[in-house]
Structure 1
Amino acid sequence: MVEYSAILIGYLLGSVSSAVVVARALHLQDPREVGSGNPGATNVLRYGGKGAAIATLLGDLLKGVVAVLIARELSAQPSVIAATMIAVFLGHLFPVFFGFKGGKGVATALGAYLGASPWVGGALAITWVVVAVVSRYSSLSALVATALSPLYVWYWLGDPAYVVGSILMSAILFWRHRGNVKRLLDGSESKIGK
């Protein structure tokens, strides 16, 4: 039974909004109230600078990694680990500590994948970087990596629990990026650094 506590721990870790914590620590505006309104590294980069964005990115990555490592310590069951991955991701999207107004979950999902498999996390990070370098669109990079994540999970982790979890996370990530998709299609999406 204690192994299932990893799921709750994952959600609570996910609920710590790195962007809001970093903004408060650096006396910046709340990222939910400026720019795109998304409490994530890309929005923080636009108004808070590179240092604040890097701190936000690392915080979001680490909470995903830590949640999954705790789950792996408490349970060898792929279903518990996959559920914890989903929980930390949902905690980021709907944080109990910040009025359930969270980010899009890209960095936290990447952290969860890194915790489950460095191969999966590495492949997703490389995919994101390659698409970002070529396109200069953070959202497009996230969407391409998201679309490929179930394939990477199937290849390196294989267990159906991970694959189903990855498909669920991908569907939610696409839903959270629906505004970005619209802006990409009409040519109004902001590029990285602009």
Structure 2
Amino acid sequence: MFRLYSLLIGYVFGNILFAMVVGRFLLHKNPTKFGSKNPGTANVGAVFGKKYGIITCIGDLSKTLIALLIVFFLYHGNHDAIAFCGLGVVLGHCFPIWHHFSGGKGVAVSIIWILFFDFWPGIVALLVGLFLVIIMKDLTWPPIIFMLGYSLYVGFTINWYCGGVFLLGTVVMIFKYRNDIVAYFKGQSKKVDILTTIKKKLGKKVS
């Protein structure tokens, strides 16, 4: 039963969409009416500015961390409990019951989930994801790949049960990115050049 309770705790916290909170109390606008219409960090930041994107991201990271800490102390750091709690947050964030099951894509919450479960391998997974963003200039595949790789790592080193839970989180992410994946294969995906952006910020000429 502790797995179910952990999943439910995660789902409840996941339902708190900080894009909607920021939109209502700070912007007085509905983020789902602008840009990609996705109630997540990337859309808020792209449409309303980096400041609001950062606030949204911090909120989503914090809700995930709080849920994981609650489960961690309730079940004394049990791996299964933490894995199910993280999955619950992802499900709540991506399919919030109060928002007609239409939420974000779960990248920010997944980052805290993998770091909390096993920190250093999580760091490696994120660095791999960042490297892929740089070379692919794409934001669709890197999070899917780092989640898939982390799922396999957990399956081989911790246990396949937890690895399967992380794999379910990966499947959810793939589902949420389904339109972006189609756009990618059609050559219609939006390119993101991080290195060029950094150079511009530093005042360097871009060749």
TM-score (norm 1): 0.87
Q: Match of 2:138? A: 137
Q: Match of 2:105? A: 104
How many angstroms apart in 2 are the aligned matches of 1:158 and 1:142?
A: 21
How many angstroms apart in 2 are the aligned matches of 1:127 and 1:147?
A: 12
Q: Match of 1:119? A: 120
Moved over 6 A (4+): none
Compared with structure 1, are the counterparts of its residues 65 and 150 closer, same or farther at alpha carbon in structure 2 (3 Å cutoff)?
Answer: same
Alpha-carbon deviation of 1:3? Answer: 7.9
How many angstroms apart in 2 are the aligned matches of 1:5 and 1:172?
A: 20
Q: Match of 2:204? A: none
Q: Match of 2:45? A: 45
> Max radius of gyration: which structure?
2
**Within 5 A, what are the aligned runs for 1:1-194?**
5-27=5-27, 29-75=29-75, 76-154=77-155, 158-192=158-192
TM-score (norm 2): 0.82
How many angstroms apart in 2 are the aligned matches of 1:143 and 1:107?
A: 12
Q: Deviation digits for residues 6-52 of structure 1, max 9, x if unmatched?
A: 33221111000011112223215322221111111111122011111
Taking every aligned residue pair, what percent have the same amino acid on both sides?
29
Q: Tell me the C-alpha RMSD between the 2 structures.
A: 2.3
Compared with structure 1, are the counterparts of its residues 150 and 4 closer, same or farther at alpha carbon in structure 2 (3 Å cutoff)?
Answer: closer
Alpha carbons 1:136, 1:192 under 8 Å: kept: yes
User: Size of the alignment, in residue pairs?
Assistant: 193
Q: Between 1-10 and 65-74, report the one with greater CA deviation.
A: 1-10
Alpha-carbon deviation of 1:121? Answer: 2.7
Alpha carbons 1:89, 1:109 under 8 Å: kept: yes
